[in-house]
Amino acid sequence: MGILQDQLYAHSPIRLQNWLISLYGIKLYRERYGQYYEQELERLRRDPNEAAPDASLKHLNEFLQFCAQHNAYYKRLFKEHGITLPLESLEDFKRVPPLEKETLRTDETIFSDLHAPIIGVTGGTTGKSIQVRFTEYDYQIRMAHLDYFKEQHGFYRGMKRASFTGRMICPRTQKNAVYWRYNAPMKQMLYSAVHSNPMTIPHYIDSLNEFRPVALDGSPSDMIEIAKYLKTHQKTLAFRPIALFPTSETLTPSGRSLLEEMFQAPVYDQYASSEGAPIVTECEHGKMHLRPEMGIIETDDSGEAFVTSFTTHGTPLVRYRIGDRMTISEATCSCGRRDTIIESIDGRQMNYVETPEGYKVFEGDLTAAVGVLPNSIIQIQVLQHKIDEIEMLYVKDEARFEPGHEVALRQEVERLFTTRMNVFLREVKSIQKEGNGKVRVVKRLYT
C-alpha cells in the first residue's frame, strides 16, 4: 500500500488522490487479472461441481510435494516427523504438526524459495502483525474463486461496486465531507470505514445514491450503520443493488436481516483471511462451501480450526492454527455441490469471555444469545470489566424493540454463565469501532 502511506498522497487534493488511487488500481489490476486468473475462472464456469471422491487428497499431495521441494521449514518438518509423500490417506495427514502463528511471524524459513511479490499483512487483535507472501499464481487463483462466487449471485467483473475499506484512503484530518475515492479501472468506489459514524453517514448515503453500485462489499459494520440510519429516518435508497458481499467481520443474524431489509438485496457471506486461508463462500441455499482445490479445513474437539490452503505457495499454510472456530457439517447441500460444508464460523478463537471458573464463553455463543429476540437488536458488544463482570452493549432496532426484550436477553446471556458472573446490559446508539475501522465483539478491559 506504499502509495497510500505516502506523504504526497495525504497532502494532495482529492482529485489527485482519485488519480493516484486509480494508478494503484492499475497495478492491482495487472497482478490480479492475468492468465492464471482467466484460466481458473473459465475452468470454474465449465465445471462448477467438480469434486471427485479423492480430490482433496490429490490436491493435498500436490501441495505437500511442492512444500517438500521449495520450502526449508516443511522440508525439515516432514523429515523430523517421518512424513513420506505422497500420503496414502487424509488420516496420515494428521501426523503433520500444526503451524502456529508465532512460527509464521518469526521463522524466516517459512518463506518458499520462489518469487512471491505480493505481500499480505494481518493486523490481528493481538497487535502482532504477520507478513505473508503470495505468488502471482496464488493471488490470481484466489481472485478467480472470489469472482466466480460473485458471478453465481449475478455480479460480474466490470459492474460498478462500492467497497467499504479500513485503509486510510482519506487523511484523518480531512475537513471536506468526501469520504470516498474512485478506483476507475475497477469501477470501484472506495468508502472509508474509518470516517463513518452517525454524523457522516448521510454523506455516504448521498454518494451511494449518486453512484448507484450494482453490489456492495467490505466491512459490514458500515453497511449496518447505513441501514440503521435509513430505518431510523424512514428513508429508502434510490437504487437497488443485486447483492451484498460482506467481508472480514462476523455478521450477526440480526445484522444480516437488517441489511437485507434496508438494501433490499440478499447478503452472501465469504470467509478468507489475509494470511491466505482457503476461501469459503456461501451458495444460493445459504450454506458455506469449501471447494477441494482450495484447501482443507479440520477442527478439533473444541471446534478450533486448522487450515491448509493450496493457494499459499509463497508462505505455505499447512494445518495452520488460524485462531477461528468453526463447525464442519457432514450433510450435503440441496444446491448439489459435492464439497465440504462449513456449518458455522463462530468467530475468533481469542474472542471470548473468561469465567471465574476458568471456562470460556465464545463470541459465537454471545451473538447467538441475541437470537432469542425477534431481530430487535442490530449489534452488540461485550465488555468484560472484571473476571466476574461483563457488560453487554446493544443497539436496538427502534421498530421492533419492545419493553421486556432487555430482560429476555439478559436471561439468555446469564444462561451461558454461572451465578458468579454479573451480567449488565446497556443500550447505546452505536458501537465504537477500533482504529482499523472494525468492530470487536468481545473486549477484555482488565489484565
How many Å apart are CA 272 and CA 146, to the nearest integer?
A: 10
DSSP E strands in 313-411: the ranges are 317-329, 340-348, 352-354, 360-362, 377-386, 389-396
- Selected from 150, 153, 287, 444, the binder of Zn ion by CB under 5 A is 287
Whose Cβ is closer to Zn ion: residue 77's or residue 290's? 290
Whose Cβ is closer to Zn ion: residue 256's or residue 287's? 287
All cell numbers assigned to 84: 513420506
Q: How far is the CB of 429 from Zn ion (least distance, A)?
A: 38
Residue 291 touching Zn ion (CB under 5 A):
no
Selected range binding Zn ion among 62-70, 184-192, 220-228, 276-284, rule: CB under 5 A? 276-284
Q: How far is the CB of 257 from Zn ion (least distance, A)?
A: 20
How many Å apart are CA 270 and CA 245, to the nearest integer?
A: 7
- Selected from 30, 285, 415, 426, the binder of Zn ion by CB under 5 A is 285
All cell numbers assigned to 166: 479500513
What are the CB-based long-range contacts (under 8 Å, 24+) for 304-307?
Answer: 304/349, 305/349, 306/98, 307/277, 307/278
φ, ψ for residue 368, nearest 5 deg? -65, -30
Chain positions 300 to 339 lying near Zn ion, rule: CB under 5 A, are 333, 335
Tell me which amino acid residue 274 is: S
How many Å apart are CA 40 and CA 233, to the nearest integer?
A: 45
Q: How far is the CB of 326 from Zn ion (least distance, A)?
A: 16
Q: How far is the CB of 317 from Zn ion (least distance, A)?
A: 25
How many Å apart are CA 371 and CA 272, to the nearest integer?
A: 25
Whose Cβ is closer to Zn ion: residue 237's or residue 335's? 335
Largest Cα span, the chain: 65
Whose Cβ is closer to Zn ion: residue 287's or residue 438's? 287
Chain positions 334 to 393 lying near Zn ion, rule: CB under 5 A, are 335
Whose Cβ is closer to Zn ion: residue 6's or residue 343's? 343
Chain positions 152 to 171 lying near Zn ion, rule: CB under 5 A, are none
Q: How far is the CB of 329 from Zn ion (least distance, A)?
A: 11
Q: How many residues bind Zn ion (CB under 5 A)?
A: 5
Least Cα distance to 180 among 190, 168, 172 occurs for: 190
Whose Cβ is closer to Zn ion: residue 126's or residue 334's? 334
Whose Cβ is closer to Zn ion: residue 283's or residue 307's? 283
Residue 433 near residue 193, CB atoms below 8 Å: yes
Least Cα distance to 165 among 24, 290, 37 occurs for: 24
Residues in contact with Zn ion by CB under 5 A are 283, 285, 287, 333, 335
